[in-house]
Amino acid sequence: MESTIKQQAQELVRKARVAQAVYETLSQKQYDQAAKACAKIVYDTAEDFAREAVEETGMGLVESKIKKQRNIAKNAWFYAKGKKSKGVVGWEKGKLQQDCILKIAKPVGVVAAILPSTNPTSAMGGNGLQALKGGNAIIFCPHPKAKNVSLHCFGMIREAIAQLGIPADVVQICENPSVEMTQALMREVDVVVATGGPGMVKEAYSSGRPALGVGQGNCQVVIDSGMQDSFDFLAAGLVENRFYDNGIPCTGEQTIIVPKNDHDSLIAALERCGALYIDDDTAVDKLRKMLFVYSEEIQDYMLNRKITGLNVQELGEYLGITVPADKKLIVLKLNKFGEEELLCREKLCPVTGCLTYSGDWREGIQMAKANLLVEGAGHSSDIYSKDKQHQIYAGEELPVCRLIVNNSNSIISGGSYTNGFITTCTLGCGVWGGCSFGENMTFEHLLNYTRIFYTVESEREPPTDEEIWGDE
C-alpha cells in the first residue's frame, strides 16, 4: 500500500512537471489568463461551493463561505492583475542609492497546496491563482472531509484552464485524499503551501521541501482606558467577525481584555450587537470541558473537533440552555489567563473570553502576551487605544506579525481597502508561529529570482575604518 501511494504521488508530479515545462514557456498574458480563470471560477460559483461545503463538512455558514470565496478571489486577483511575474520584473538598489541589480522572475516548479476542510474552495482558488500567476503547476491535496466539493471546484478550474489552450495538467488533484497521500506528495514537489491545522503545517515543514505554512490563530483584543466612545463600533465588528462562518476562521477574536471599570459598558455594547454573556462559573466550566479534551498522545488539552463550526444555539444545547435565535456569539467571563486558562486558547466556534485588568496598559498587554505564548504567537491581535505610545508599546511587546489598531481582526485577510493588508488565504506567522515567512502570501512567494549585478560608477570612496567602527 505504501509503495502504491508513493507511486501515485510520483505520477501526479511527473505529469505536473511535463505540463509545467510547457507552461513556463508561455507569455505573461497567458499566465494572467490562467490565474484569472482560476479565481473567476471560485467567484462565479461561490454559492454552489459554499452550500456543498457546509453540507459535506457540517461546519460553518453558507453566507460566510460565499463572502469569503468572493472576497479572496476578486481581491487576490486585483492585487496580482497587471504585475509582472515572468522575466525582467524591475531594478533593485541593494546597498547603493542607485539601480544596479536587475531582477528576473522564474517559476519555482510544482507546488503542492494542502487544503483545509474549513475553506476547501476559497483556498483552492486563492492558492491556485498564486501558483499559476508565476508559471507554476499546482497539485491540490483536499481534506478528506471536503473531498467532494474540492473535486467539483477542481474540475471546473481544470476545464477553464484547458479551454485557454494551456496544458490541463498544470492543475491536478489527489482524487482519494488521505494523510499518507498528502505526506507522499509533499516529499515529491518543489514547494508546499500548507493552509490547514497545526499538525499538517508541521508535516509540511518536515517534508524535506521548502514550505509556506500558516500559523495558529489566537487573536487577543486589548482595550485601553478612555475608549468608551468606541464600544459600539468595537462590539459590532467583533461580534460579526466571531459569528462569521460560525467562528471557524483563524482571524477571530478569542479573548477580550478590558479595564475593570469599563467591563459592564463593554458587555452591554456586546449584548446590543447579539452577544450572550455568561458569567456563571458552573456554566463556564461546563463549556470549558466541552471545548477542550485531554489527549494522551500530545500530553495536553486540545480543541474538541466535534464542536468546530457549531453555532451558539447548538452550543447552548450542549450546555442545557436555550440560546435565543438572535444571539450570534457567546462571551464568557474569565478570571485567569495564560497557562492557567484553557479558554484563553483558540476556539473554532463563536465563543470569546473576557478578562479584566486594572487599567494599567502594560498589565493588559502582558496578559495578552501570556495568552499568545501559550497558543497563537505570530498570527495577529487587535488593540483599541488613542495613545500613540501605548500603540507602540503593544507593538514592541506582543509576539505577532500583524497588530491592528482600532479595528476588527477581520481585515487581516486583505479584503478592505482601508489598510495595507494584501488579500490572501495563507497567513504566515514568522518564527513565532513555526513558519518560514510572516507576510500574507502572494504570488511573489512562489517565484525564484535571478539577480543580475552590474558594476556602476562608484558613488563614494569605500568607508574608512573610522566610519565603520567609530561612534555615530
Q: Which amino acid makes up residue 144?
A: P
10 Å Cβ neighbour count for 76?
32
Q: Which of 420, 451, 446, 424 is nearest to 89 (CA)?
A: 451
Tell me the longest C-alpha to C-alpha distance in the chain: 78
Q: Report the DSSP beta bridge partners of residue 276.
A: 330
Query: In DSSP terms, which residues pair with 194 in a beta bridge?
Result: 114, 213
Residue whose C-alpha cell is 485524499: 177
Contact yes or no for 410/380 (Cβ under 8 A): no
What residues are paired with 293 via a beta bridge?
302
- The answer to whether 320 and 380 are in contact (CB under 8 A) is no
Q: Which of 38, 153, 174, 250 is catalytic?
A: 250
- Strand, coil or helix: 61: coil
Q: Measured between alpha carbons, how far is 35 from 39 in angstroms, rounded to an integer?
A: 6
Strands 378-384 and 400-405 come out as parallel
Q: Fill in the amino acid letter for 295.
A: S
Cα distance between residue 74 and residue 35, in whole Å: 11
Q: How far apart are CA 259 and CA 187, in angstroms?
A: 50
- For residues 384 and 406, the answer to whether their CB atoms sit within 8 Å is yes
For residue 454, the surrounding DSSP H or E stretch is: none
250: annotated active-site residue: yes
User: What is the spatial distance between Cα 77 and Cα 144, in angstroms, rounded to a whole number?
Assistant: 28
Q: Mind telling me the catalytic residues?
A: 250
